[in-house]
Structure 1
């Protein structure tokens, strides 16, 4: 024989609850609450506490910003110097190697491709059948025409000598 099952609790919530269970309460509707207002903003700090902070930070950073700009400009001047030296040497070698050219035409061609504000020197020796042009520029500080750094930039090029 099988054991008898316990009787089910009544459905209306009356009567004892089974062991280990709480009795169910009838559902009650909750009242609708009004929306809460947004929390108030925290009290503002006095205007005197931050006054001048941006000016102090700017005054501290401004010299560093100027220094970074000067370094970037100097790097651009050095790069431009390499471009000028290489181009002038190339043009000088072509002019010197042309028929009837020689060292005079080589130097003139190099000087025509370098602005007057740059300090430069040109040499155009003939080595075998190749006219070698070497242009050396002094690197100016920040912009040409001012002081020069103790650095020279050189550009070299060669061209085969034409004709007799």
Structure 2
């Protein structure tokens, strides 16, 4: 009896695919983590801008800085008193690991400033 040519390759594609699945999943997880870090930077920058605008006119800096950090995203807002006619606000947003709300690692920080227009200044 003669053996057919190529019959020894049966299932080779399935084995190769099964071997590549973990690598594909790891690559997707790393790409997703990069997206989350980028989004955390975007949130921190926006929150810092809004907090600086609110602080510059004597508004509630903390509330403005955390307004868009709802749900699973968390962060801190630092609103020091005005100095030399300027307000500077720093917002730190916790960067999640794979999914917001499941914990995270060191946060990303954004800083924004504005000219102080609160009480005691000439407009």
What band does the TM-score fall into relative to the shorter chain?
A: 0.7 to 0.9
Consecutive unaligned residues of structure 2, counting only runs of 5 or more, are: none
Question: For residue 107 of structure 2, what is the aligned residue in structure 1?
Answer: 152
Question: For residue 69 of structure 2, what is the aligned residue in structure 1?
Answer: 114
Q: CA deviation at 1:89?
A: 0.1
Higher helix share: 2
Rounded Cα–Cα distance in structure 2 between residues aligned with 1:130 and 1:46: 77
Rounded Cα–Cα distance in structure 1 between residues aligned with 2:112 and 2:17: 49
Rounded Cα–Cα distance in structure 2 between residues aligned with 1:73 and 1:45: 44
Question: For residue 63 of structure 1, what is the aligned residue in structure 2?
Answer: 22
RMSD of the alignment, in Å? 1.6
Using the size of structure 2 for normalisation, the TM-score is 0.87
* Residues 70-113 of structure 1 deviation map (CA, whole Å, 9 limit, x = unaligned): 00000010011111101100010001111x42xxx111011112
Secondary structure (helix, strand or coil) at the match of 2:109 reads strand
Q: How many residues align?
A: 116
Larger Rg: 1
Structure 1 runs of 4+ with >6 Å offset: none
Specify which structure has the bigger relative contact order, considering alpha-carbon pairs within 8 angstroms and separated by 6 or more residues.
2
Question: For residue 5 of structure 2, what is the aligned residue in structure 1?
Answer: 45
Secondary structure (helix, strand or coil) at the match of 1:134 reads strand
Consecutive unaligned residues of structure 1, counting only runs of 5 or more, are: 1-43
Rounded Cα–Cα distance in structure 2 between residues aligned with 1:130 and 1:117: 32
Match among 63, 67, 74 for residue 33 of structure 2: 74
Match among 123, 131, 137 for residue 78 of structure 2: 123
